[in-house]
Amino acid sequence: MQPEPLVPGPPPPPLTRLSAADERWRALVRAFAEKEIRPLSAEMDRTGTLDPGLRQELFASGLTSIAIPPEYGGLGGSLFQVVLAIEEIARVDAGVAVAVDVHNALVVATILRSAGGDQRRRYLPLLASAKLGAFAISEEQAGSDAFALRTTAHSEPGAFVLNGRKRWTSNAAQADVFLAFATDPEGRGISAFLVDRDTPGLSVVHRTEQLGVRAASTADLVLCDVRVRAGQCLGGVGGGRTLAAEALDVGRLGIAAQLVGLAQGALEQATEYARTREQFGQRIAGYQGVQFTLARMRVDIEAARVLLYNATRIFEEGANRLEQARQAAMAKYLAAEAAERTASSAVEILGGNGYTRDYPVERIYRDAKAGKIYEGTSNMLLRTIAATLTGEGS
C-alpha cells in the first residue's frame, strides 16, 4: 500500500456548536420557556391541561409553525430547529414539549412530506395560526403493535366514513385537527385522514389521568360515522402504513429532544440545589458522592444530545429509510435511558425535598418515565435497531 500524502482540511464544527442563527433561535425559545411556561408548569401538571393562554402564546411566538413555509404563515425553519425548540421547552416542562412535538414533528411534518397542494393550502395556514394538531394512531389493542387497527374507513363515492376509538392521543383534549389512521375493510390497507374536530360524529372523551407529561392533555378520540371528503385522505388510499412509519421516526427525534431537555432541566435543578444546600457544616456540592453523581448526569446528557443532533442531521441530509429508522431508534433509546437516570439522581440529590411537589424534580421524575413507553417502548426500539443490523424481524 502506497498511501497518498494526507492533506488536512478545515476541521468540521462540533455537533453541539450551533450556528449563529440556531444559537439565536435557542436563546429565543429558552427565554419564552422561562417567561411563559415555567410559571404555569405546576398548575398544568396538577390539572392535566395545557393552559389556554399559553396555547395562544405558542401560536403567537411561532412555536407551532417552525418548519411551515412562510407562504403558509410559518417561520420556514428546519427539522434541527424543531428539535432545538422541543429540547428548550422540555428543559422547563416536558408536557408542553410533547404538545409542541406532536403538532410540529408528527402532524405538520407529515403534511409537509405527504400532502397535496389543496391539503397544504387548507391546513398549513390553520396549523400555523390557530389550530392545534394531534396524531391518532394508538388503540386499545394497537400500542406497540401500532398497525393492529380496528378503526375502519368505509369508502363511499367521494368520501370515507370512519368508525372506531383511538386511545392515548396526546393533545386530543385541545386539538382542532386530527391525523387519524384507519383500516379499509375491503383490504386496501391502512389510510390516514385529516379530520377536523367539528366534524359530526367526532368526540373527545375520557381524559387520561397519566403519571407525567400531563400538560399534553391525553384523551380518547371516538369516531362514530364520521364522514370525511376523499380529499382529506393523506398519502393516498392504503398509504397510511408508510406514512405512519415515516412520521413516527421523526416523532422519535422529537421525543429524544424532549428527554434531553428534561434531563438538562433535572441537572440544573440538582446543581443549583447542591450549591446552596448545607449539611454537616458545608454545601453538599463539596461532597464527592454528590460531585460524581452530577458528573455522571452530565455525561449521560451530553452523549444523548450528540446522538440526537447527529441523527437529526442525518435526517436532514436525506438518508435512506433504514438508516433513518435506526438513527431515530438509537437517539430515543439513549435519551430515554439518560433521562430516567438523570431525573432519578436529581431526586436523590435533593433528598426529602426532591420527593415533594415543592420542587420541580418530582414532576421531572414522573415525566421522564414516559420516555421509555410512548412512540416506541425501549424494547421495541432495540428490536428496530437489531433488525437493521441482522435483517431479522422489523
CATH number at residue 244: 1.20.140.10
Q: Is residue 10 part of a domain?
A: no
Q: Is the pLDDT of residue 106 over 80?
A: yes
Note whether 147 and 190 are within 8 A (CB): yes
Given 87, 139, 246, 375, which residue is catalytic? 375
Q: pLDDT digits over 315-351, tens only?
A: 999 879 899 999 999 999 999 999 999 999 999 999 9
Sign of CA dihedral 145, 150, 151, 155: positive
237 has pLDDT over 70: yes
Q: Is residue 60 part of a domain?
A: yes
In a domain, 15, yes or no: no
Check whether residue 52 and residue 175 sit in a common domain: no
Is 88 a domain residue? yes
Please indicate, yes or no, whether residues 276 and 353 belong to a single structural domain of this protein.
Answer: yes
* pLDDT above 60 for 186: yes
- Scanning 78-190, the segments in alpha helix (DSSP H) are 79-90, 94-101, 109-114, 117-129
In this prediction, residue 335 carries a pLDDT of 98
Q: Among 237, 270, 297, which residue terminates a domain?
A: 237
In a domain, 319, yes or no: yes
| Digit-coded pLDDT (tens) for 267-280 | 999 999 999 998 99
Residues 108-135 have a mean pLDDT of 96
CA separation for the pair 23, 84 (Å, rounded): 9
Say whether both 155 and 281 belong to one domain: no
Residues 118 and 143 in one domain: no
Domain assignment of residue 5, yes or no: no
List, in sequence order, every beta strand (DSSP E) within the chain: 133-136, 152-156, 159-169, 177-184, 189-196, 202-205, 219-229, 233-234, 278-279, 282-283
Distance of CA 218 to the CA centre of its chain: 13
Across the range 17-31, mean pLDDT stands at 97
In this structure, are 32 and 112 located in the same domain?
yes
Domain interval for residue 30: 20-132
> According to the model, what pLDDT value does residue 7 have?
86
CATH of residue 164's domain is 2.40.110.10
Q: What pLDDT does residue 390 have?
A: 86
- Whole-number pLDDT of residue 393: 62
124, 138: one domain: no
Give the integer Cα–Cα distance in Å for 304 and 288.
Answer: 24
Distance from C-alpha of 195 to C-alpha of 121, rounded to nearest angstrom: 15
pLDDT above 80: residue 388: yes
Are both 197 and 312 inside the same structural domain?
no
The three-state secondary structure class of 389 is helix
Q: Say which range, 22-31, 51-60, 186-195, 363-372, has the weakest mean pLDDT.
A: 186-195
**122 plus 41 within the same structural domain:** yes
Q: What pLDDT, on a 0 to 100 scale, did the predictor assign at position 394?
A: 54
Residue 1: the pLDDT is 77
Of 112, 132, 152, the domain-final residue: 132
Query: 12 lies in a domain?
Result: no
Residue 207 pLDDT greater than 90, yes or no:
no
- Whether 155 and 191 share a structural domain: yes
Q: How many residues does the chain have?
A: 394
Question: Are residue 121 and residue 46 in the same domain, yes or no?
Answer: yes
The mean pLDDT of the chain is: 94
**Same domain (yes/no): 169, 228:** yes
- Residue 78: count of CB within 10 angstroms of its CB: 16
The pLDDT value recorded for residue 179 is 97
Give the rounded percent of residues in the chain with a pLDDT score beyond 90.
85
- Same domain as 271, residue 205: no
pTM of this prediction exceeds 0.85: yes
Q: What is the pLDDT of residue 280?
A: 93
> Is 14 domain-assigned?
no
For residues 120 and 105, what is the distance between their CA atoms, to the nearest angstrom? 16
**Taking 90 as the threshold, does the pLDDT of residue 12 lie above it?**
no
Query: Which of left, alpha, beta for 369 (phi over 0: left; psi -120 to 50: alpha)?
Result: alpha
The three grid cell numbers given for residue 62, joined into one nine-digit string: 411561532
Could you say which of 184, 202, 237 is where a domain stops? Answer: 237
Instruction: Judge residue 52's burial from the number of C-beta atoms within 10 Å of its C-beta, 0-12 exposed, 13-18 middle, 19 or more buried.
Output: exposed
When pLDDT is averaged across residues 231-249 and rounded to a whole number, the result is 94
Q: pLDDT at position 352, please?
A: 95
The answer to whether residue 43 is catalytic is no
How does DSSP classify residue 287?
S
Please report, for the domain that includes residue 68, its CATH number. Answer: 1.10.540.10
Grid cell digits, residue 277: 444546600
Q: How many domains does the chain have?
A: 3
Angstrom distance (rounded) from CA 94 to CA 44: 11
